Amino acid sequence: MTTERITALIADDQAMVRAGFAALLDAQPDIRVVGQAADGDAAVALARELRPDVVLMDIRMPGTDGIEATKRLLRPDRPLPHVPRVLMLTTFDIDDYVHEALRAGASGFLLKDALPEELAHAVRVVAAGDALLAPSVTKRLIERFADTRDPAPSRAALSLNGLTDREREVLQLIGRGLSNAEIATELFIGEQTVKTHVGKLLQKLPARDRVQLVITAYDAGLVAPE
């Protein structure tokens, strides 16, 4: 029995980067590159036409950059018939635009110098509906933007009113960057129970994926820099 391959679109203004990523991904038995774009406008147009599962989107491109293109693809007021997952590509893990990209709806980000197996893994993780956000990245995002948070009760804080105490605990640990297995160990519960809580959080808040849960936890004040 054959499994349908994950389809991917690569958007980057550097032809060599596009070609290299395409070669690496096409070599995987479960991934197929269906298109390449040199800028944000082309990425949006091709994504609408080709309907890929994942768009690998460079953050910095001339003209329409990756953040604006991601906003167009994922805007809630004009949803596409097929909404792709967006994996942002960046040169530096301290890129000033990472936080804005995640707010735009991206499911995570990947360094351009990632190993081939890391690239393929990232595409699989994002295609499966999960988020690719390392704990170290989560910590930096919180530290970078904690000083800008409004001390007054935010909309995010009010949205937590419908959560149980356990769901708040899980959300706080997600905000700290812990995986489901780590949360299970921290709270002395089963990993499947954690998955159930995460699913309820995604429905109640609501959020597209784990990245948006991290942002909500930060905005609501559940997590702060140490």
Extents of the domains making up the chain: 6-132, 151-219
- Give the tens place of pLDDT for each residue, 38-64: 999 999 999 999 999 999 999 889 889
pTM of the predicted structure, to 2 decimals: 0.71
Domain 151-219 carries which CATH code?
1.10.10.10
More confident position, 4 or 38: 38
Fold: same for 6-132 and 151-219:
no
Given a cut of 80, is residue 94 above it in pLDDT?
A: no
Q: What is the pLDDT of residue 140?
A: 63
How far, CA to CA in Å, does 163 sit from each of 168, 169, 194? 6, 10, 14
Position of tokens 């997952």? 85
The radius of gyration computed from the CA coordinates of the chain, to the nearest angstrom, equals: 18
- Binning pLDDT at 50, 70 and 90, where does residue 29 land? very high
Which of 95-109, 112-126, 164-178, 189-203 has the least mean pLDDT?
A: 95-109
Average pLDDT, rounded, for the chain: 82
Closest CA to 128 of 53, 208, 207, 188: 53
We find that the CATH architecture of domain 6-132 is 3-Layer(aba) Sandwich (3.40)
Which of 14-18, 72-76, 128-132, 135-139 has the least mean pLDDT?
A: 135-139
